[in-house]
A = this chain, B = another copy of it.
Amino acid sequence: MNVPRAALVIIGQELLSGKVKDENVGYLTEQLWALGVEVKRVLFVPDDSQDIVEALRWVVDRHDYVFTTGGMGPTHDDVTVAAVSEALGRPMVHSPSLESLLERLYGVPAGPERTRLCHIPEGAELVYPEDARFPQLIVGNVFLFPGVPSIVRKKFSAIAERFRAEPIYSERLDLDRSEMEIVMPLNAVVESFADVRFGSYPQYSEGKETVYLTLDGTQQERVQDALKLLKKLLGLA
């Protein structure tokens, strides 16, 4: 499938120690897929500048969009903005509009913490969606989100339409058989439809195995034809 590609860089020690369960991957992958964008990589890294830089360098040139979550606050472990600056080779510059926002919204007193928070990578875009507590920071193809899931949802919704591409058509086929029983017909159809993506997902319930198949593609007719052949080979039509 030739669709826009995205990567997620999920930042936060709390997610790597199991203290907090991530909710952003499920949300972002689902939203992007519905927009016609395919997530090809997800990376979780600790709140460490070098780890984040390494992750970003690994994905930033090979994906149309990169989304980061986490590490956006004022404390010692909030190093995402500086890491994006380093990974993209864009020096940090002072943003007067951000400083005035911080002063007005949070009453942060002048000092090293406020100054640090008002530095952003050169050429960064600040988008102010309606009702947003804080602007959306965009640096090249990197979209920076905080870690808190409710804020990620709000901020992503505000800019989601930027990412809309051709729709991906999906079909699903639930089968009352084990994966082993359907592997031969499935593999035959997979070979005939290089432009359709197939998934096969076994499920276990009360000791019984069933399976469901998924078919995805950008050409609806091809997805339908693949489904038809699959049903035929499985003796369902």
Contacts and interface: CB of A to CB of B under 8 A. Distances in A.
Interface residues of A, number: 65
B42 A202 contact: no
Give the number of copies in the complex: 2
Of A113, A198, A202, most buried by chain B (CB within 10 Å of CB) is A202
Interface string A1-22: 0000000101001111111111
A26 B21 contact: yes
Interface of A: 8, 10, 13-22, 25-34, 38-47, 51, 58, 73-78, 106, 108, 113, 147-148, 150-151, 178-180, 183-184, 186-187, 190, 197-204, 214, 216
Contact of A200 (B15, B75, B202): B75
> DSSP class of A's interface residues: helix, strand, loop or mixed?
mixed
6 contacts: A8-B44, A14-B199, A16-B39, A22-B25, A41-B44, A74-B180
Contacts of A17: 29-30, 33, 38-39, 216
